[in-house]
Amino acid sequence: MNNDVFPNKFKAALAAKQVQIGCWSALSNPISTEVLGLAGFDWLVLDGEHAPNDISTFIPQLMA
């Protein structure tokens, strides 16, 4: 499915066989998440299983 309004740059880069660099975050601080979001990574995973995260820490991180 092609979406011209909101193109998925990540999927396009994968289709073009471009390397995607990301970060797996086990931090529960939204300030850290915002720094990682501004660091230029192509993707970011917020670990909800192996990190001290729960719904009350995830919401501020997703907002960051």
Active site residues: 50
Q: How far is CA 45 from the centre of its chain?
A: 5
Q: Are 54 and 62 in contact (CB under 8 A)?
A: no
Residues 6+ apart with CB under 8 A from 21: 41, 42
